[in-house]
Amino acid sequence: MDQFTLNLIFVGATFALYIGIAIWARAGTTAEFYAAGQGVNPVLNGMATGADWMSAASFISMAGIIAFGGYETSAYLMGWTGGYVLLALLLAPYLRKFGKFTVPEFIGDRFYSGGARLLAVICLIVISVTYVIGQMRGVGVTFGRFLEISTDQGLYIGAAIVFAYAVFGGMKGITYTQVAQYVVLIIAYTIPAIFISLQLTGVFLPQLGLIGTHTASGVEFLTKLDQVVTELGFKAYTGETANMLNMFLFTMSLMIGTAGLPHVIIRFFTVPKVSDARLSAGWALVFIALLYTVAPAVGSMARLNLTTTMWPNAVAGNALDGEAITRAEIDNNPDLSWIRTWEKTGLLVMEDKNGDGMIQYYNDKSDAMNAIAAERGWTGNEVTKIDNDIMVLANPEIAALPGWVIALVAAGALAAALSTAAGLLLAISSAISHDLIKGSINPAISEKGELLAARISMGFAIVVATYLGLNPPGFAAQVVALAFGLAAATIFPVLMMGIFSKRINKEGAIAGMLVGLIFTAVYIFTYKGWFFIPGTNMLPDTAANYVFGISPLSIGAVGAVLNFAAAFIVSGMTKEPPQHVQELVESIRIPRGAGAATGH
């Protein structure tokens, strides 16, 4: 059976499963649409949360980032998993005890302010819309590659699938669909990793293969990888970062950004009891760890496979003593068909600059390598583009794995992108229908009318997300910087203060969110450009221009600190919250009846 047919069968079967589940779990009330009737088992909710969180960025991009970034990019693993520890300990149980449907609703009630609720809605929509663009684009790229259609056509198909199960199923349908999507994506991610680990190290578990021995050379796997990449002038894969402050702040930004992402937080409104919210977070961490502990192995093994493909002698440790891969081999060798396939997508670009019939792959920013290049008549790195996003998708092809494994990866990548897209779109829909329409515009709207408004809002959000996926604005490539930075600097601090401080009032909360929002957005704008106008950055996006070396990707942690500071200062200068609000804060944190036995 040819590869295209296999891809079609695997992807079609999973889509049929998702739509079938959505029909079975169709939401009939607003409680089911927003929070699945608050009746989801914590284990299933943990699994759904894992799928909701493990987006195209986790499934497709993260291993690619690790492949080319090495040790420094471990911050993604630490930050994205650490955020769930914060959720489990500091937010999830208390927000579930509050008993509402959305994050802006909590903020509006806790800070007794429609303005605070509206500002939270704005932050939520900006964060979610920014984040969903990458998911929709990931759907288009994956469809385009594996179903041999254009990226735009793939995006249309993905949007139709999300519409089919999200608009009608709401949170109830999305939850059980995400459980199925988690099963698909974790199998799709793990099986190729096991195959490749066995090929390279002889070890079944990729996590152990990463620290095992490279079979062909007899040296430790990571030592072998360091030898190969440094010989070509690249930084040692296990080399340490030059700026620990920036790495620390980046990790913190990812952690508190994760804990502040609205589409993640609303998952904890779906369980029956407060204790279940904490259990859900724990199970989510377990299910996420199943993928995240494999990702470093996938990234590092993909990097070695790619490099030794370009320099076959690198396996023996003397890449530069032999010839690089030739253009004729790429064009005619069936084992290298993956290169030709990915070249068609434009995500992998090679150019024989010096006309010697070979493709030299090396770091042309290295003085040592440029000296060698000058001796040999090379005129620059001839692998002119390797998109990070191809590494996971191409890895099974590079390793010559069976066709069904390649098809499984396609289905898994689509499951990852669609599951997160659905969660983000639900967060947007809930903010519009519940917080904006019911909360501000028409408080007297009937439940039937609100449910209709929620479905229309969801449909509208899908249309907007599809349009932006087709026509990505200038900031689409900076999804992590904007979405996580704003979540860290706006949503997380106000939730923390709302739960743990009775003294923070509405003036303080609004001031804190505004300071965090403006500071973070302006800093990102300074180096990344105005959101819809590429190339309008005020300063070059280089480490030499960053304040104290803090990159735009890391600034969310600083924005969060400024949010806390502004909120406490303004609250201290203004009237304390009403007594009933202070009692509300105390009731959220302290179990009913606590201290009754001792009289305290």
Contact criterion met (CB below 8 Å) for 33 and 454: yes
- pLDDT value for 164: 82
pLDDT of residue 476: 44
Structure tokens at 369: 């390598």
In the block, tokens 């007297």 appear at: 444
pLDDT of residue 591: 54
Do the Cβ atoms of 34 and 455 come closer than 8 Å?
Answer: no
Can you tell me whether residue 267 is helix, strand or coil? helix
* 211/13 Cα distance (integer angstroms): 36
**Model confidence pTM above 0.75:** yes
CA distance 21 to 44: 14
Structure tokens given for 143: 């469809």
Length of the chain: 600
- Other beta carbons less than 10 A from residue 256's beta carbon: 27
What integer pLDDT is reported at residue 592 of this predicted model?
53
Q: What is the pLDDT of residue 166?
A: 85
Q: Give pLDDT, residue 435.
A: 92
Reference 76, options 291, 279, 263; nearest CA is 291
Structure tokens that stand for 471 in this block: 């026509």
Give the separation between CA 487 and CA 120, rounded to whole angstroms: 10
* 383: β partners: 350
3-state secondary structure of 575: coil
Could you tell me which residues are beta bridge partners of residue 349? 385
**For residues 286 and 266, what is the distance between their CA atoms, to the nearest angstrom?**
19
Half-sphere exposure of 6 (CA within 13 A, CB side): 12
Q: For the chain, 600 residues long, give each residue's pLDDT as a single digit of tens.
A: 888 899 889 989 998 898 888 888 888 888 899 988 889 999 999 999 998 888 777 888 888 889 998 888 888 888 888 888 888 888 888 988 887 778 999 999 999 999 999 999 998 988 888 888 877 877 787 777 777 788 788 889 888 888 888 888 888 989 999 999 999 999 999 999 999 999 999 999 999 999 999 999 999 999 999 999 999 999 999 987 778 889 899 999 999 998 898 888 888 889 998 889 889 988 998 999 999 999 999 999 999 999 988 888 877 777 777 788 999 999 999 889 889 988 887 889 999 999 999 999 999 999 999 999 999 999 999 999 988 878 888 888 888 888 898 889 889 988 888 888 888 888 899 999 999 999 888 999 999 999 999 999 999 989 988 988 887 664 444 555 578 888 999 999 999 999 999 999 999 999 999 999 999 989 988 887 765 565 677 888 888 899 989 998 899 999 999 999 999 999 999 999 999 999 989 988 775 544 444 444
